[in-house]
Amino acid sequence: MEDREQYVRYRQDRTVLAAVGTHLDPQISRISVRLPRSMAELAVAAWEREELAGVGEESREEYELRDHAAELGLIGLAISSRGVWDADEVVVDLDAVQIAAALRAAR
């Protein structure tokens, strides 16, 4: 059982992380960003796309791919609903969570 004690600490760390998030949430609203038109159009297309196949059993990699696609779609929704097109770019206010998802995917 000793070799699993770290998971007790990890659970405590998660509780602290959640408390940090609760503290930060009211401080952070949307952040205005600029995206190239080509990327913005692809994000909007991801939002507008209909997936006809249901989700069955999937591997961890497949789950992560679907999750990233969903995050892109949500960015597309933000662009569609509140984006301001400016020549070859779009200016849109994104939630910090959406920005973080894009940054994680870039790694």
Domain membership flag for residue 17: no
Domain membership flag for residue 92: yes
Domain membership flag for residue 36: yes
DSSP H or E run through 92 = strand 89-94
Query: Which structural domain, as residue segments, surrounds residue 84?
Result: 29-106
Domain membership flag for residue 10: no
Q: What is the pLDDT along the chain (107 residues), one digit of tens a residue?
A: 456 888 999 999 999 999 999 999 899 889 999 999 999 999 999 999 987 777 678 899 999 998 999 999 999 999 999 999 999 999 999 999 999 999 999 99
Domain membership flag for residue 62: yes
Domain membership flag for residue 89: yes
Total-model pTM:
0.80
Domain membership flag for residue 2: no
Cα distances (Å, whole numbers) of residue 24 to 17, 27, 64? 10, 5, 26
Q: How many domains does the chain have?
A: 1
Domain membership flag for residue 5: no
